[in-house]
Structure 1
């Protein structure tokens, strides 16, 4: 049913560029993390690597999992047109804002304010998997939500964004007890 291969094809790269939403999953021996992502936050560097703008959020599990050597999976799915799911199985690399490389890497984006991001992540692909996606519903894109960028802008303007990022560097511990 699905096909696996070692690097992105031209068709895969075009598919990624077209997507308005994608998902990042990660794990490192703790809980499995899964987050939907949007914005113009992803760039294909080459057929084996992806660059991601990591905006501040309430948790930081993806970076935690990367630091602990865990794997990351990016998933893209067609909500319009021909059904398809594309998964990229990766190892991650963290590029903090203090890293000299960030200036060169940010040139891939038309970002309006580098202060609004938490960091960059580079995903090195070790397996690409394409599957049918025939059960995925058809949905129409209306618009991006501006809420996250607006919240980060407000924190930046009052001088507390870096504190927010620091305070949320360690994800909250989940209560793993099942209650009935």
Structure 2
């Protein structure tokens, strides 16, 4: 049975901290719905109704493009270990780019990563938990080194060129707002 909460509790925060990955879901008013898995050390709970997460380079930039049109986001965690639980956080998000005045203040709480494209400052308006009885058990084997290796092999200009080539529009042609 699903349970709803107006904000994160201490138990919810502990659950988030115990997970190695989360998922983000967004959609514009038309076009495709996007659901992306996220990992690494890229998320911080800032309070009962606020989460920050750093969006690293990727093959697309759907989340940023969708938020340009409709400001809504769902974050989801599910346990693949002992505790059968799924948790979703619903809310809105503000996109912060490297050139924005508050980038440095928000980014200082995260490990530096040259491929960080945006920080999403998420305001939660609903937290919902549900059973994870059908979620399989999986073992965590560690972080992939691929993102760091990719960034290490490129100059800052080459990373920005990748953004200019792959990240200025969503797959539906919506602008993402990323400065290149």
Q: If the length of structure 1 is used for normalisation, what is the TM-score?
A: 0.90
> Are 1:142 and 2:146 matched, yes or no?
no
8 Å contact kept, 1:27–1:70: no
> Are 1:57 and 2:55 matched, yes or no?
no
Matches within 5 A, 1:24-173: 24-29=24-29, 30-109=31-110, 111-113=111-113, 115-156=114-155, 159-167=157-165, 168-173=167-172
CA distance in 1, matches of 2:125, 2:151: 33
Matches within 5 A, 1:2-17: 2-17=2-17
- Report the equivalent of 1:177: none
8 Å contact kept, 2:32–2:172: no
CA distance in 1, matches of 2:11, 2:144: 28
Structure 1 unmatched runs, 5+ = 175-180
8 Å contact kept, 2:4–2:126: yes
8 Å contact kept, 1:6–1:127: yes
Structure 2 unmatched runs, 5+ = 174-180
8 Å contact kept, 1:61–1:171: yes
Matched length: 171
SS at match of 2:155: helix
CA distance in 2, matches of 1:166, 1:90: 29
